[in-house]
Structure 1
Amino acid sequence: MIKLTNIKQSYLQGKSIVNVLNGIDLNIAKGEKICIIGPSGSGKTTLLNILGLLENPTNGSIQINSKDCNSMSLEQKTLFRRKNIGYIFQNNQLLEDFSVIENVAIPLILNNFSKHYSLNKASEILKTLGLEDKVDFKPGTLSGGEQQRVAIARAVIKKPFILLADEPTGSLDEENTKKVMEIILSIINKIDTSLVLATHNLDLVKKFDKCFKVDDGLINEFKI
């Protein structure tokens, strides 16, 4: 279970305080697929960053897998995130100095698995995603759809408790959007991981168990 209670987030902009989230309550069951929609600037990315322990809320509590994340030190959050949270970014954030297979293996290496084991596991998952002939390529030589498949492989290789995806198809055409979403949902179902995905694409909403709309710093269930 993932539980957010009364999450608020504000930023100082010049001399003014900008309120982005104004008291978010959200419960996500294990294996549940959640979609977050809302206009640009509504706070979707901020909400995902708080869920991913990349950002501390101004107020409110975060519990992930029965762990009180508010009481964790920065180091504890980093270790917890490495083991339990996968993140797919819109711009993929692949490391250009590393090959495709090295990018995918990094999460396992950071969790103290051997390089040999990590590369073998990376090779296996890349093969399932149809990228076995790209393992030694640099990310910049791949198409947008291929890069996002690499980003998916990197995010799920450690079988995280929760997978966060911030507009993962935002820069893709319709064909690649369909492929990427099929891949994400197929993997999620296999590893029984909770998914929270932010998107502008209302066509994707029906693929999820629940959908929520973030607007004016508040969250409400959006009936599918």
Structure 2
Amino acid sequence: MQNFARKEAPELLSLLGVSHCYRRGKNVIPILIDVNLVIRRGHTCALVGASGSGKSTLLNMLGLLEKPTGGALTFKGHSVQNADADQLAHLRNREIGFVFQSFNLLPRLSVVDNVALPLSYRGVSRRQARRLALEQLALVGLADRAHCKPADLSGGQRQRVAIARALVGRPALVLADEPTGNLDSQTAKDIMALLLGLNREHGVTLVMVTHDVELAKQFDRRIQVIDGELHEEGAHGQP
């Protein structure tokens, strides 16, 4: 088991003076205000805050799904401000894994084919993609369910499949949006233990949105998003 150093870890992603707003008719509605944030390799970071506070918009920024309307966003030291939609999609596929509250598995595909799906978008052969997917399923304890359909699995098992899918391409960053929100308390604990174990043992960089303050306490960093501004406690590697 490898123990990854945290304080000296290199920068993975940074937001400098980032703002984001929406236009509603003639009105401009600020969502994020002068956000400064550095995410370092191998760290874990929990984003907490009330509904509408801006945390989901922040997660979308980190996932390169939305661009800032002001400020600078860099990924692995490179600005993504001028990247076009195809370039951003390529970065997301290669560098970022997503885990959602609702699992987002395709019901007609087997578990192994759901996990292999991101690799197919890279042009990886079906045989190799399935082999890598099986390896990832073994890592999350579901190798014996590889040929089942999602409907045959429990909620916790489906979330494990979603985690395997997020990790199969060996991304630099995993973003999780309320991944335990649809699970009972014990299954939620098991999923969190899995995610944090993958971080400790394999250096997976993890950022998670959660409403659960107790869950957030297990992370290296806890950032409250309040009215579009960040308030951090337990910080490491601040910008």
Q: TM-score, normalised by structure 2?
A: 0.89
Specify every segment of 5 or more residues in structure 2 that has no aligned partner in the other structure, as ranges.
1-10
Residue 81 of structure 2 aligns to a residue in which SS?
A: helix
Shift of 1:191: 2.7
* Number of residues of Structure 1 aligned to a counterpart in Structure 2: 224
Alpha-carbon displacement from aligned partner over 1:179-198 (angstroms, at most 9, x marks no partner):
10111111122332221111
Q: What pairs with 1:33-182 in structure 2 (closer than 5 Å)?
A: 33-182=44-193
Partner-residue secondary structure (3-state), 2:224:
strand
Q: Distance in 1 between matches of 2:22 and 2:152?
A: 38
- How far is the alpha carbon of 1:138 from its aligned partner? 1.9
Among the aligned pairs, what percent are the same residue? 39
> In the alignment, is the contact (CA less than 8 A) between 1:159 and 1:191 conserved in 2?
no
Q: Distance in 2 between matches of 1:221 and 1:162?
A: 20
User: Is 1:197 aligned to 2:208, yes or no?
Assistant: yes
How far 1:135 moved relative to its partner?
1.4
Specify every segment of 5 or more residues in structure 1 that has no aligned partner in the other structure, as ranges. none
Structure 2: which amino acid aligns with 1:175?
A: Q
Give the C-alpha shift of residue 106 in structure 1: 1.1
Q: Distance in 2 between matches of 1:103 and 1:188?
A: 22
- Structure number with the higher helix fraction is 1
**1:189–1:113 distance in 2 versus 1, CA, 3 Å:** farther
Shift of 1:32: 0.9
Runs ≥4 residues deviating over 3 A? none
Residue of structure 1 in register with 2:5 after alignment: none
TM-score (norm 1): 0.94
2-structure distance, mates of 1:149, 1:140: 14
Question: How well do the aligned residues superpose, as a CA RMSD in angstroms?
Answer: 1.5
> Whole-Å Cα distance in 2 between the matches of residues 31 and 43 of structure 1?
24
Contact 1:139 1:147 (C-alpha < 8 Å) held by counterparts: yes
